Amino acid sequence: MRKLIFKAITLIGLVSTSLSNAQINPKNNFIGLDVSTFPQNTSFNYDSCFALGAKLGMSRVGIYQNWSAIEPTPFNYNFSIMDIANIYYPAHNMAVDLTITPIHTNNLEVPNDLRTTAFDDPAFINRFVSMIDSVKSHMPNVTLSSLVIGSEHDVYLGTNDTLWAQYTNFYNAVVKYGKLSWPGLKIATELTFNGLTTKNTFAQALNKNSDYIGVSYYPLNSDFTVKPLSVIPTDFATLVSLYPSKQLCFYQYGFPSSTTCNSSEALQAEFIYETFMTWDTYASNVRMIDFTWLHDYDVNLVNYYSTYYGLKDPIFLEFLHTLGLRAWNGNGTDKPAFRELQCQAKRRGYNNLNISCITETSDQIDNNMDAIAVFPSPAQDCINVVLPLNTKNAELSIINSSGQEEKYIANIQDSHLSIATEDLANGLYLLVLNGENDRKLIGKFMVSK
């Protein structure tokens, strides 16, 4: 006779909704979210999107402005974004990471009359700090968690020693001026992960006076396909070893869900899960992660950025198109990654959302049981489970991310099981072994088709 009925509420008893040993916390570690607003329904506006982030525990919002957008023609300024921010974010008690870019990835974004001027020319520096002064005057009520000068500019600078030296001199001058005119301001500059690691000598010199180490992180191969998620802890460890005395701020952090990129929505959700597991390990080193981005871009915006970056590669376009944690259709629909973000944040005290979250952490899996193996993961048609020899007559349940039992296997007689998964939807699943007197969470697997 079947002894256990599984519902979401009973699983919460098996897997606690809060992690007693989690290291990150809302006081010291901050969740950011790029509040992209691209659903088809225009009534689903910025307020609607902002509320989604605020409810899951977002405490930082990024404002991203090219210098050329603030000063579209020499000495003529557009501070409309700053004026709106000065009203909107204080009303919501939300801090802002403000990025202003003289260089945006592979594009120079300066006023036209400065395009041939060296970065460290006094005229260039004076124009930039004058603009910063005006920005400050338009945002007196905003709490700036950081000011970021430049975004992914290692791509533009390449391996040109002269350009790196000029930009470093410019940056140091801005940092010095900003500290004097804006007391208490934290200043950073954002480089790609590859820039920080493969151009370490340049990056170390540039970051000497940075308060935080700004990172843009997308674990991709050179062809824009995704890397295995096992690189996340390795990459975090690499950054921490390079900058052991300064906290990291991931101002861009994302993972596509497109099969064209060798990914899936299930794998994107697993990316969120693995991120939080790793963040716990490096809680004292990683101050903030800004997840990129809330909604997928539509085709028109993808085409715009394809032209902007000068990249027509279809895999790159799918990377851009599917970075969102929510799809753009209608009012926007949650991908599994968004639910995973809500759940992982909830487990660490960032929100009190009324959702069932049952994804486990490695310490909650019963590691005292020998010889457990689950493969492959992600699975398509089936998984293979190898159990200890002493599990005869036990019962096995497969539970989905909503706490519902999808499959049940009674009276197990063989330690080697092959379980069909072709009828399971993409997502994360738990394996629960039910004995005579107890139940054990023995593993997890992903389904990705």
By three-state DSSP, how is residue 360 classified?
A: coil
What would the mean pLDDT of 145-162 be, rounded to a whole number?
98
**Bond prior to 376 in cis (omega within 30° of 0):** yes
Question: What is the tens place of the pLDDT at every residue in 252-278?
Answer: 999 999 999 999 888 898 899 899 989
Q: What is d(CA 247, CA 230) in angstroms, rounded to the nearest whole number?
A: 22
pLDDT grade for 188, boundaries at 50, 70 and 90: very high
pLDDT grade for 438, boundaries at 50, 70 and 90: low
Q: What is the pLDDT of residue 20?
A: 39
Q: What is the pLDDT of residue 311?
A: 93
Residue 371 has pLDDT above 90, yes or no: no
By three-state DSSP, how is residue 396 classified?
A: strand
**Bond prior to 293 in cis (omega within 30° of 0):** yes
Question: What is the tens place of the pLDDT at every residue in 193-236?
Answer: 999 999 999 999 999 999 999 999 999 999 999 999 989 999 99
Q: Which of 79-88, 105-114, 324-333 has the least mean pLDDT? A: 324-333
Cα 3 versus chain centre, distance = 41
The answer for residues whose C-beta is within 8 angstroms of residue 338's C-beta and 6 or more apart is 325, 326
The values of phi and psi at residue 3, to 5°, are: -100, -20
Pairing relation of β-strands 439-447 and 427-434? antiparallel
Side-chain half-sphere of 152: how many Cα atoms within 13 Å? 18
Q: What is the pLDDT of residue 437?
A: 55
Intra-chain end-to-end CA distance of the chain, in Å: 34
Torsion of CA 125, 127, 131, 137, to 10 degrees: 90
CATH of domain 359-447: 2.60.40.3080
- Least Cα distance to 98 among 61, 51, 152 occurs for 61
Residue 116 has pLDDT above 90, yes or no: yes
Whether the Cβ atoms of residue 217 and residue 250 lie closer than 8 Å to each other = yes
What would the mean pLDDT of 50-58 be, rounded to a whole number?
96
Residue 114 has pLDDT above 50, yes or no: yes
pLDDT grade for 13, boundaries at 50, 70 and 90: very low
Q: Which of 12-26, 283-297, 310-324 has the least mean pLDDT? A: 12-26
Q: State which CATH number among 3.20.20.140, 3.40.50.970, 3.90.1150.10, 3.20.20.80 fits the domain covering 23-347.
A: 3.20.20.80
Compute the radius of gyration of the chain from its Cα atoms: 24
Above pLDDT 70, what percent of the chain? 89
Q: What is the pLDDT of residue 435?
A: 63
> 10 Å Cβ neighbour count for 26?
14
What is the residue-averaged pLDDT of the chain? 87
- Which one has a higher pLDDT value, 69 or 264? 69
Q: What is d(CA 232, CA 235) in angstroms, rounded to the nearest whole number?
A: 5
Q: What is the pLDDT of residue 357?
A: 66
Question: What is the tens place of the pLDDT at every residue in 340-360?
Answer: 899 899 989 999 998 766 544
Instruction: Based on DSSP, count helices (H) and strands (E) in the chain, helices before strands.
Output: 14, 18
Domain boundaries, the chain: 23-347, 359-447
Q: What is d(CA 8, CA 78) in angstroms, rounded to the nearest whole number?
A: 51
Q: What is d(CA 198, CA 370) in angstroms, rounded to the nearest whole number?
A: 41
Its pTM stands at 0.81
> 10 Å Cβ neighbour count for 159?
10
